[in-house]
Chains A and B, each alone.
Chain A
Amino acid sequence: MLQKIALMDAAVIRGLLVAVVGLLGLVLSFFGVDENLFSDKAERVVDALMLVLTAGGLFWAGWARVSLPTPPVSDKAVAKTVALMHKQGGFLSSAMLGILLIVGALGVAVTLTGCAELGLQQPKTFEERWAYAQSQTTAIRETSTRALNAGLIDSADMEYTIGVADRSSELLRLARTAASAGDTKTAEGRLQLVTTILAELEGYLQKRSAQR
Chain B
Amino acid sequence: MNERNLSLALMLLNSLLQRAAQVSNRLQAGDLDDAALDDLVAQDEEAREEQLLALEKARAEGR
Contacts and interface: CB of A to CB of B under 8 A. Distances in A.
Interface of A: 88-90, 92, 94, 97-98, 100-101, 104, 107-108, 111, 118-121, 123, 127-128, 130-132, 134-155, 158-159, 161-162, 165-166, 169, 172-173, 176, 202, 205-206, 209-210, 212
A107 B54 contact: no
Of all A-B residue pairs in the complex, the 3 with the closest CB atoms, nearest first, are: A89-B2, A141-B47, A121-B27
A161 B10 contact: no
A121 B12 contact: no
Interface string B7-22: 1111111011111111
A113 B19 CA distance: 14
Interface of B: 1-13, 15-28, 32, 36-37, 40-41, 43-44, 47-48, 50-52, 54-55, 57-59, 63
Contacts of B9: 100-101, 104, 206
22 contacts: A89-B4, A94-B1, A101-B6, A111-B20, A127-B37, A134-B40, A135-B22, A138-B19, A138-B44, A138-B47, A139-B12, A140-B15, A141-B44, A145-B50, A147-B8, A148-B55, A169-B44, A172-B41, A206-B5, A209-B4, A210-B1, A210-B5
Contacts of A128: 23, 27, 32
A178 B62 CA distance: 42
Nearest to A149: B54
Contacts of A120: 20-21, 24
A206 B4 CA distance: 9
Given A151-B63, A159-B55, A111 B17 contact: yes
A158 B37 contact: no
Given A88-B2, A136-B20, A141 B27 contact: no
Nearest to A151: B63
Given A136-B20, A142-B47, A162-B48, 6 more contacts: A104-B13, A111-B17, A130-B37, A134-B41, A141-B44, A158-B51
A162 B19 contact: no
Nearest to A110: B20
